[in-house]
Amino acid sequence: MTSTLDTLDRHLINTLQEGFPLVDEPWRVVAEAVGSTPEEVLERVRRLRETGVLTRFGPMFQIERLGGRFVLAALAVPEERFDAVTAVVNALPEVAHNYRRTHRLNMWFVLATEKPEGIAGAIAKIEAATGLPVFAFPKHREFFVDMRLQA
């Protein structure tokens, strides 16, 4: 679905990337920052989520600081099994998100576990359920991308 972003949408997205206010009325604070009302801001966030412009809205955690681990993983899934394997992978609570790619490794997903040793268990579950080997790529270095939209 294609969505057209107006100036307020762009300003809202940029503002939300700066952090979400932890106050009694956070939507009012955001609305004041972007020159809108709390109701309109909430409706726009809902629309941006529904149309897929925003794929996720929520906190980002440094899981390693909490004792857990993230791993980028991939599978080479035969095309005729792609939907079935997607359903199996996405059903696991350890799978944070999943992407289809045009590459031999055509399914990429992020595994997140409360403890580092949980990654091996999650990989084993996926391999047992799909019969496919999981390629795991642990994080060696973290990069932050600060994307800003021209408002």
Residue 70's H or E segment, with its range, is strand 69-75
The per-residue pLDDT for range 70-103, each reduced to its tens digit, is 899 999 999 999 999 999 999 999 998 888 999 9
Confidence (pLDDT) at 148: 80
User: Are 11 and 150 in contact, with CB atoms under 8 Å apart?
Assistant: no
Share of the chain above pLDDT 70, in %: 97
Query: Phi and psi dihedrals of 74, rounded to 5?
Result: -145, 155
- Residues 100, 71 within the same domain: yes
- Residues 36, 70 within the same domain: no
- Locate tokens 């989520």: which residue? 49
Domain count, the chain: 2
User: pLDDT band for position 1 (50/70/90)?
Assistant: very low
Distance CA 101, CA 109 (A): 11
Which structural domain range is residue 70 located in?
Answer: 63-138
Confidence (pLDDT) at 61: 73
Q: Is residue 2 part of a domain?
A: no
Averaged pLDDT of the chain: 90
Angle (CA) 110 55 24, round 5°: 105
DSSP 72-114: EEEE---GGGHHHHHHHHHTSTTEEEEEE-SSSS-EEEEEEES
Bridge pairing between strands 107-113 and 95-100: antiparallel
Confidence (pLDDT) at 57: 78
Confidence (pLDDT) at 95: 93
User: Are 94 and 122 in contact, with CB atoms under 8 Å apart?
Assistant: yes
pLDDT mean over 20-25: 94
- Residues 85, 40 within the same domain: no
**Residue 96 sits in a domain of what CATH number?**
3.30.70.3460
- Residues 74, 45 within the same domain: no
Cβ neighbours of 61 (radius 10 Å): 11
Asked if pLDDT for residue 127 goes beyond 60, the answer is yes
Q: Is residue 150 part of a domain?
A: no
Asked if pLDDT for residue 44 goes beyond 80, the answer is yes
Asked if pLDDT for residue 2 goes beyond 70, the answer is no
pLDDT mean over 41-48: 95
- Residues 67, 133 within the same domain: yes
pLDDT mean over 25-38: 97
